[in-house]
Amino acid sequence: MSAILLDGTLVAKQTEQQLINRVKSIRLKNGYPPTLATILVGSDLASKTYVRMKQNACRRIGMESVAIELPATTTTEELKEKIFSLNSNKSCHGILLQHPVPRQINERLCFDAISLQKDVDGVTCLGFGKMSMGQRTFGSATPRGIMRLLAAYDIKLAGMHAVVVGRSPILGKPMSMMILNEDATVTVCHSKTKNLPEIIQSADLIVGALGRPEYIKASWIPDGAVVIDAGFHPNGCGDIELGPLYDRVAAITPVPGGVGPMTINTLLLQSVIAAEQKL
Ligand code: NAP
In the chain, where are the structural domains located? 31-115, 141-260
Q: H helices within 189-278, ranges in order?
A: 196-201, 259-278
* pLDDT recorded at residue 279: 63
Pocket of ligand 1 from Cβ distances under 6 Å? 142, 165-168, 170-172, 189-193, 196, 209-212, 215, 230-232, 239, 259-260, 263
Q: What is the model's pLDDT at position 66?
A: 97
Q: What is the pLDDT of residue 49?
A: 95
**Residue 61, amino acid:** I
CATH number of 31-115: 3.40.50.10860
Say which CATH architecture domain 141-260 belongs to. Answer: 3-Layer(aba) Sandwich (3.40)
Whole-number pLDDT of residue 1: 74
| Candidate of 6, 9, 171, 206 to mutate for ligand 1, largest count of ligand atoms within 8 Å of Cβ | 171
Q: Are 265 and 63 in contact (CB under 8 A)?
A: no
Tell which atom from ligand 1 comes closest to the C-alpha of 145: 40
**Structural element, H or E, at residue 13:** helix 8-30
Ligand 1 centroid from CA 239, angstroms: 9
Atom 40 in ligand 1: residue holding the nearest Cα? 260
- Quote the pLDDT of residue 278: 81
Active site annotation includes 278: no
| Dihedral over Cα of 150, 152, 155, 159: its sign | positive
Residues 200, 221: Cα–Cα separation, whole Å: 6
31-115 and 141-260 have identical folds: yes
Residues 157, 19, 262, 47, CA torsion sign: negative
The predicted structure's pLDDT at residue 103? 97
Each residue's pLDDT expressed in tens, for the chain with a length of 279 residues: 799 999 999 999 999 999 999 999 999 998 999 999 999 999 999 999 999 999 999 999 999 999 999 999 999 999 999 999 999 999 999 999 999 999 999 999 999 999 999 999 999 999 999 999 999 999 999 999 999 999 999 999 999 999 999 999 999 999 999 999 999 999 999 999 999 999 999 999 999 999 999 999 999 999 999 999 999 998 999 999 999 999 999 999 999 999 999 999 999 999 999 999 986
Model pTM score: 0.97
Give the ligand 1 atom nearest the CA of 172.
26
- Residue 277 appears among annotated catalytic residues: no
- Residue to probe by mutation, ligand 1, list 96, 101, 190, most atoms within 8 Å of CB: 190
